[in-house]
Amino acid sequence: MLETGSTGFMLLATSLVMLMTPGLAFFYGGLATRRNILGIMIQSFFSMGWTTVLWVIFGYSLCFSGGAGGVIGNLDKAFLNGVSIDSMYTNGKIPEIVFIAYQMMFAIITPALITGAFVNRVNFKAYFIFLTLWQILVYYPFVHMIWGNGLLAQWGVIDFAGGIVVHATAGFAALASVFYVGARVDKNSTPNSIPLVAIGSGLLWFGWYGFNAGSEVAVDHVTSLAFLNTDIAASFATVAWLIVEWIRERKPKFVGLLTGSIAGLATITPCAGYVPLWASPIIGIVAGIVCYIAVQFKNKMKWDDALDVWGVHGIGGVLGTILLGLFAVKAINPAGADGLLLGGSSFFFKETLAVIGAAIYAFVFTYIVLIIINFITPVKVDEKIEKEGLDLAIHGEKAYDDDRL
């Protein structure tokens, strides 16, 4: 029977997750150079439009139809066939229409996360094709396998809000894209607007409550647990990153603080509704330290992941999934499992293997698909365009009118 409270909350959660994509655009737009603000922001906003089109035509069907145990669904619900105003989600508490909208917001932001890695180097036409293929051949299969009662779900793998499905796949796809397109001409570029980064970070943190708490798809004690776990982990990660960087750089950095919050949010995502409150501070501290180290390692290896997508989202997603395998407690969520600390060695192994496998698949597929796209249209812009900036060279616009106050 429809629960008006759960339905109302899920509509709010859907709106919060939708807000995360503009928040990501602001976050990346502030970190980009002045000549590439619009070039990176348009990629997030374009995903809002094009991903919705794909989702309605076949995306939702490929993710959430086709029965148990498969790798990807079928086209039974293409064009939302069979979905009526009276259709209910499987838990019987909210309309299926609301669930469709909620999951669509996840599909929108996931590939947009990747774009921060190759800022100011990729042709928009190539990104259009990449967005389409990556959704179909990476995102949809992992949604179906884990959240659509597919192969990994049947094996016992769980992921509360997207450590595997969203962050590990996007983060390692980002690293593959960096390896393919190579380094920027000007690698010493600095953020054009730290206040814009702060606005984006705040919107992401705010929206993450819908991202994580909404993943219970109802209003109950697990929803509340996921909400508070999210905030605690993010806060501890923020402080941990700030302190580690402060010790190393001798100054407390605002961009580092903001980046640490995102690392904590990404890392708690797979765990939020499955681990007890006492675990979230530990997860946050580990996230802040490990993701900071990952970013420093990336810099040492000279991998030009411009906005640290791999170090924050890729490593955060992998780390969070492994920590889920360690800290999960079935007593607080019967849909979960007992982690390694409670004797769940098999569950820990499955979570670890699943997230590593997802990361490898996303990396390899992304590299291959970029090679294929390059036969259709050049993936990387030439040096002249890169120096001019994508805003003017490709989009014919500027973020700021330099001739006016």
Residue pLDDT, tens place only, 298-326: 999 999 999 999 999 999 999 999 999 99
- Phi, psi torsion values for 73, nearest 5 degrees: -75, -165
The residues with which 380 forms a beta bridge, in sequence order, are 122
Read off the tokens for 253: 């950095």
Res. 374 pLDDT band, cuts 50 70 90: very high
Q: What is the mean pLDDT of residues 74-90?
A: 95
Residue with tokens 């900071």: 292
| Per-residue pLDDT tens over the stretch 113-143 | 999 999 999 999 999 999 999 999 999 999 9
| Per-residue pLDDT tens over the stretch 8-26 | 999 999 999 999 999 999 9
Provide the CB-side half-sphere exposure for 400 (13 A, CA).
13
Least confident of 37-41, 189-193, 246-250, 382-386: 189-193
Prediction pTM value: 0.96
pLDDT > 90: percent of the chain = 94
Check the CA dihedral 78-18-401-28 and report its sign: negative
pLDDT value of residue 189: 74
Provide the CB-side half-sphere exposure for 161 (13 A, CA).
33
Task: Using DSSP, state whether 236 is helix, strand or coil.
Answer: helix
Distance CA 147, CA 41 (A): 29
Sort 5 into a burial class: Cβ within 10 Å, 0-12 / 13-18 / 19+.
exposed
CA distances from 161 to 115, 181, 248, 390 (A): 21, 30, 33, 34
Domain boundaries, the chain: 4-378
pLDDT value of residue 68: 85
Task: Using DSSP, state whether 396 is helix, strand or coil.
Answer: coil
Distance CA 231, CA 264 (A): 9
Distance CA 379, CA 165 (A): 25
Rounded to a whole number, what is the distance in angstroms from the first to the last CA of the chain? Answer: 58
The residues with which 95 forms a beta bridge, in sequence order, are 88
The residues with which 88 forms a beta bridge, in sequence order, are 95
Check the CA dihedral 226-231-232-234 and report its sign: positive
Query: CB neighbours of 380 closer than 8 A, spacing ≥ 6?
Result: 121, 122, 123, 181, 182
Least confident of 31-40, 76-85, 187-196, 309-318: 187-196
- Phi, psi torsion values for 302, nearest 5 degrees: 60, 35
Task: Using DSSP, state whether 315 is helix, strand or coil.
Answer: helix
Q: What is the mean pLDDT of residues 322-335?
A: 97
Between helix 315-327 and helix 169-181 the angle, nearest 10°, is: 150
- Mean pLDDT, the chain, rounded, equals 96
Res. 67 pLDDT band, cuts 50 70 90: confident
pLDDT value of residue 195: 96
Res. 404 pLDDT band, cuts 50 70 90: low
Distance CA 344, CA 350 (A): 10
* The residue type at 363: F
Task: Using DSSP, state whether 88 is helix, strand or coil.
Answer: strand
403 pLDDT higher than 60: no
Distance CA 181, CA 40 (A): 16
48 pLDDT higher than 90: yes
Report the top-level CATH class of 4-378. Answer: mainly alpha
Q: What is the mean pLDDT of residues 80-94?
A: 94
pLDDT value of residue 405: 46
